[in-house]
Amino acid sequence: MDLTDKPKKIREGEQLDRAKIEKFLKDSIPGFRGSLVIEQFPSGYSNLTYMIKVGEKELVLRRPPFGTKAKTAHDMKREYTILNALNPVFHYCPKPLLYTEDPSIMGCPFYVMERIRGIILRRDLPDGLVFKSGDARRLCENLLDVHLELHSIDYKKIGLADFGKPEGYVKRQVDGWSERYRNARTEDAPDFEPVMAWLQENMQKDSDRPCIIHNDYKFDNIVLSPEDPLKIIGVLDWEMATIGDPLMDLGSSLAYWIQAEDPPEFQAIRMMPTDMPGAMTRDELVRRYAEKSGMRIDNPQNAFDFYYCFGLFRLAGIAQQIYYRYFHKQTKDERFALLIFAVKALEQAAVRVIEHSGL
C-alpha cells in the first residue's frame, strides 16, 4: 500500500500559469524536458505548495498565498536562503534548486526544490499504517531528537550569523505577536488581553544557547520513510525559521501537542495524531529535551509554563491572521472558516496554563 503524501487538483483561485512556469524551468534547469503537470499539496494554511512533474522527475514549488499578507510573512528568499545553508549539514532539509523574484512569471517571488517522497502524518494515522506497542513512543523520541539535532548546529559556521537577532528575542516575540494579534483580531475573536499581560509579567530571559529554530516543527512538517515509518527523512516548511531561543521553539511545537486527556474543545482542533496510544506527553517531551540537551530547566512543569503558554498564544495569532483573510473575503479557502474555533480553543488552553501555573 502506497502511503506517501500525494498532491491533488489545484484549489479554485490558486491556479498557476503553466506555460510561464514551464518556460522558466526549462530555461533554468539543463535537460528539463517533457510535458509539465502541476498539482497542489492541499494541506497547510500559509505558503502554497505545488508539485511540478515532468516525466518521472518531481519538484516542489513554494509561493506566498494569494491576497493580503502580514508585512513580514511569506519571505520566499529567506526560506530559500536557510535551505541553501542547511541542506549540506542537516540532511533532512530539501535541496533548493531555483529562486526568482521576476514578477513576470507569477507576480511574486517563489522557489523550487527537490521533492522528498514519504509519509506525512495528518490528524489521524493513514489507513494501513499501524504502530506496534512502543512504536508511537519511539516515533515521538525520534521527532524530538531531530529537533535537538537542528538546535545543535553551529549556525555561524554555515553562514547564518546574520540570519536572526538572538539578543532580545523573547521580548520581540511577545511584543510582536501581541501587536500582530491585535491588528488581525476580528469582531468574533477573543481579545487575549489577560494572556498577553501574563506573558509580559512572566517573560523569561533570553537563552544563553541561541540556535537555529524552525518555529513550526511538528508531525505534519515531517516526512517519514515509506519503508520504515519510524524513520524521519525530511523536515519541511522553513518559512518561519530564524536564530533564536530553543525553548521558545519547543514551546511553539508543543502548542500543537494535544494529548488524550485534554478537554474536548482542545481535542476538536487536534491536527496530528499526538493522542495515539503510547505517544509521549508534553511533560515527557520537555524532560527528554532537558536531559538530552543538557539545558537546565528547574521544575520543568512550572518553568516551561511561559514557553508553552506563549506557544499557544502564537499559534492563535497565526490562525487569526489566516482567519482574517477569510473573514475579509481575501481568500475562498473554506478551511479557513473553522480557524476561529481554533483561536477560541487556544485562548481557553492558555488561560488554563495561567490558572494552574506556579509562576
56: CB partners within 8 A, 6+ apart: none
Identify the H or E element spanning 224: strand 222-224
pLDDT for residue 74 = 66
39: CB partners within 8 A, 6+ apart: 7, 8, 9, 10, 50, 51, 53
Identify the H or E element spanning 96: strand 96-100
> What fold, for 135-356?
Aminoglycoside 3'-phosphotransferase; Chain: A, domain 2 (3.90.1200)
Confidence of residue 34 (pLDDT cuts 50, 70, 90): confident
Task: Tell me the three cell numbers of residue 247.
Answer: 525553548
| Model pLDDT for residues 319-351, shown as the tens digit of each residue | 999 999 899 988 777 889 999 999 999 999 999
Q: Residues of 338-351 as b/e, b for ≥16 C-beta within 10 angstroms? A: ebbebbbbbbebbb
Superfamily assignment of 18-114 in CATH? Phosphorylase Kinase; domain 1 (3.30.200.20)
Q: Which residue, among 300, 328, 110, 310, has the nearest Cα to 215 in the 3D structure? A: 310
- Could you give the percent of the chain with pLDDT greater than 90? 80
With beta carbons less than 8 A apart as the criterion, state whether 16 and 44 touch.
no
Question: What pTM was estimated for this model as a whole?
Answer: 0.92
pLDDT for residue 45 = 66
**What is the average per-residue pLDDT within 258-266?**
95
Neighbours of 294 (CB within 10 A): 7
β-sheet bridge partners, residue 38: 52
Locate the domains of the chain by residue range.
18-114, 135-356
Confidence of residue 210 (pLDDT cuts 50, 70, 90): very high
**What is the average per-residue pLDDT within 42-68?**
84
**What is the average per-residue pLDDT within 234-259?**
96
Check for a shared fold between 18-114 and 135-356. no
85: CB partners within 8 A, 6+ apart: 158, 159, 160, 163
With beta carbons less than 8 A apart as the criterion, state whether 60 and 88 touch.
no
pLDDT for residue 5 = 87
| Model pLDDT for residues 142-169, shown as the tens digit of each residue | 999 999 999 999 999 999 999 999 999 9
pLDDT for residue 73 = 53
